[in-house]
Chains A and B, each alone.
Chain A
Amino acid sequence: MIMREREVVIGHRLGLHARAAAKLVELSSKFQASIVLFRADPTNPVEADARSILSILLLSAGYGSKVGVRASGVDEEQAVESICEYLAG
């Protein structure tokens, strides 16, 4: 299966808090590709659906933490691109 993946450091000062998470859901909904955020920490791997505000909040990605973005679908390239750009702040 084809997919894109990239890592990004969260640049929002409060981390992925309610406002940033809401914006992220809005942004992700513009793409057709399925988009997953994941924490690269091997001892505690967590995945979040980028269109689910609850799962993003539960990812608990604070300021400066490293998060992976994975997308698969027709517009996966643009999706990963713009989401990483948003997360970097």
Chain B
Amino acid sequence: MAVLQESYITGDNQYTEIYGVVWRGQTFTPSVSHTITQVDLKLYKEGSPGTYTISIRAVDGDHKPTGADIDGVTGTTQGNDLDTDTDGAWTEIELSAGVELTAGTEYAIVTRAISGDISNSIHARVDDSGTYGDGLAVSSVNSGGTWSVIAAIDWMFKEYAGDLIPGDSPPPASNVSYSKKLVAVGNDQLWYESSAGTMEVLAGATGDIDCTVGLDMFEAFGKVFVANGTNLKVADFVNIKITTLDIESHPPDFQTILTAAGGAKMIVDYITALTGACTIYGKLITTAEFGAEAVTGTDDDGNAISFTGTAQTAGPHWYDWTVFGNDSTYGIMPSQATLGCNYRGRAQLSGDEDYPYQWYQPRQNNPWDWNYIANDAQSPIAGGNSDAGEVGDLVIATIPYKDDYMIFGCAGSLWYLIGDAAESGTIQELSLTEGILGAKAWCWDNAGNLYILSTSGLLKIPPGFGPPENITLESYPDFVKDIAFNSSTDRITMAYDREGNGINICNTTLADGTNENWWYDLRTGGLFPDSYPEECGVYSAFFYESVNPAYKGLLFGCFDGHIRFFDPTAKSDVLTGDTVEAIDSYVDLAPMKLGKEGKEGKLTSLVGVLAGGGVTGGSQADSSDVYYKIYGEISAEKVIERMYAGTNVRASGTISAPGRVRGSMKKRKVKAAYLGIRIGNLAEAETWAMEKLLVNAKESGRIK
């Protein structure tokens, strides 16, 4: 079976003549090595041109055919049999034998009708402003003796492979049939990933968003739904749209199939009005596209749909999130919301300023139907979380867990919905004494544990909703107090890093990006404080499962409008203008008791063993040098106090890397009851790792 390889089939608007000594052709460059067996040209005749012959020839550096027909192979068709319709017709011309072509090499399709003349000629259809990028039209007036290039023209042509050359068979272009796009909002604009690694503004959205009020967005049905106060919007990446000046008497319903006169079909998703002029959004399910033509279909009641539509427009689109057709028969949406999520195929909203305890769910798998009157298993439904007769707690976060649970993080309590509220679902309290700190103060890990930064600490809630465990209660009782979160000035963001196997907890001041952050290491259960430059202050976070591995990972939406990630190769933080800021990293090894009770001890020497094999370079990655500071006091708490203040350093210096450097023992004498050692680094473009510190100490006298 012939397999199409190179072709150019657009812009057909002109012709070129072939007759007698006037030979013409088109060069092309195969992207895959193959044996060419057939060429299709769009031809018609004038008079009786006789036999029309094609061949393949090599091409010189000036894009001109050179030498004889490759392998002497030609293909012919009887020109007298062609039609005279000047639109031309695709004409298959098989070669007498295959000709092997090499990928990336330019060849020429050379054609002639040697018994013809100017009144008995072959006419080949061309584009007189061709855009084929891998070849040019060529012409000869001396039977192929010399050639000239006609750069502006490209022929209508298709060339086919009979067999792909073994070893050069083309791999599939991709083994995925879907794409993922990152979407981000900032400066009252919505941006999306137009191609891997490139973010582009969605023009229609600009000005429709107000970043000074609460905003949440979520993916459902190939779209992104935006809840931004009274701005309830849709960024539609899956549908085409057509418009009509009059939808006539029977508008389409949700999921009606519309058919264009030319054969294009779409499944209707959303329509802006049910009468008069409107725009229809739907999923194109044919190769054929909608043109400006008659469109027909049948609505749910069996009525014939018929209207004249415009040519389709591809997405992404931006439009208001309303009920279907903006028609009250589909209910009424909440007038405002700042929280949204997809739960069981329901595009749930909450955060209505007037009804902050309320949540709203449209029909399952239909975000345009908010008619709560329906009474079926997929019916729209709204509710609150409280015991009977009480006004519910303020909903601050909505947390869907697969199709199983919907958790409502409230100001002073936690609730969860099991199953579907419209189909036997129940609402139960998770905690009546702990609330959530913010809309994004939660995340899931890969084991199904839910982590919530609550008013009492960091809660871990096991799968199935066992009792919440406060995992900072013993190790850090003042954790929440020390975070000093102020909901009116700060934003809490939590995100699980499946690559680093930990949780980022970020508290960023909205006004200036100053921040306080924590890394909770799930492998050790330890909390590690972080600080980032103001530009890098985290406003939002998302683990992006990009199809392109280069963009997959935990991403942070930062204070300066840049999307960042933790780059293991970056030894400094990268600022707005690509300048860098050193990472001030340190660890306090303290307090260590040097002597027995009531006695002091004396540190005599210190040896640092840092990462690296001991030889710069080599197979083991090398640490940078680190500084050390030694503190010694008569009480443990005083050591800690000194270390926090950075005062009364008893000894300091540099521990050299890599590895353990011979002769690097630091002989320092520090007499104290308790010892503290800080090691760290605050130099740009440096990073470090430690194996261990070796400290020699001996007992000294009584504490005086």
Partners in one complex: no
**Chain A residues close to B by CB (< 8 Å):** none
**Chain B residues close to A by CB (< 8 Å):** none
